């Protein structure tokens, strides 16, 4: 699913709330907003419409004049597509270049490196 659009920071926050809630109305998104102050109702309503109409990341169920929104992609799907696009577009298809950049910029802790080694070792065991 590499055709998933890249989300803006605000769109990603809306999706994060919906991923946690599984579904919700705009008022629910605002009630669970991670930062204070939360954006205006109209701002979130506009973002939700963009995520639905232009980016196809969410769907809705109508309840009278109001809509309950549901993620159409999982967080895992989005993360995989985002990283895949970043590797292809920014790192010329090189995963090792991506990891080298992360490690070189000290964005990866020693605990995370140990966890990565375990993942690599497990992946080699299944081949």
pLDDT at 15: 98
Alpha-carbon distance 15 to 123, whole Å?
30
What pLDDT does 127 receive? Answer: 60
The pLDDT assigned to 105 comes to 73
Q: Do 111 and 79 belong together in one domain?
A: yes
Overall domain count for the chain: 2
Give pLDDT tens digits along the chain (127 positions). Answer: 457 899 999 999 999 999 999 999 999 999 999 999 999 999 999 999 999 999 999 999 999 999 999 999 999 999 999 999 889 989 999 988 888 887 787 767 888 888 888 888 888 776 6
Is residue 62 domain-shared with residue 82, that is, in the same domain? no
Are 86 and 58 within one domain?
no
DSSP letter string over 54-92? IT--EEEEEETTEEEEEESS-HHHHHHHHHHHHHHHTST
The predicted structure's pLDDT at residue 1: 45
Are 81 and 46 members of one domain?
no
Residue 3 lies in a domain: no
| pTM of the predicted structure, to 2 decimals | 0.81
Surface-to-core class of residue 108, CB atoms within 10 Å of its CB (0-12 exposed, 13-18 middle, 19+ buried)? middle
Place of tokens 């579904």: 23
**Same domain, yes or no, for 14 and 66?**
yes
Kindly state whether residues 49 and 30 are assigned to the same domain.
yes
The pLDDT assigned to 9 comes to 96
What is the predicted pLDDT for the residue at 126? 67
């Amino acid at each position: 699913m590499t055709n998933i659009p890249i989300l803006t920071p605000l769109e990603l926050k809306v999706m994060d709330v919906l991923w946690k809630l599984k579904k919700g109305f705009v008022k629910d998104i605002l009630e669970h907003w991670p930062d204070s102050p939360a954006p205006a109702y109209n701002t979130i309503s506009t973002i939700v419409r963009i995520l639905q109409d232009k980016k196809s990341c969410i769907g809705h169920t109508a309840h009278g004049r109001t809509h309950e929104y549901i993620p159409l992609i999982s967080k895992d799907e989005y993360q995989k597509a985002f990283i895949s696009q970043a590797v292809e577009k920014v790192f010329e298809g090189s995963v090792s270049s991506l990891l080298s950049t992360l490690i070189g910029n000290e964005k990866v802790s020693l605990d995370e490196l140990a966890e990565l080694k375990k993942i690599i070792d497990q992946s080699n065991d299944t081949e």
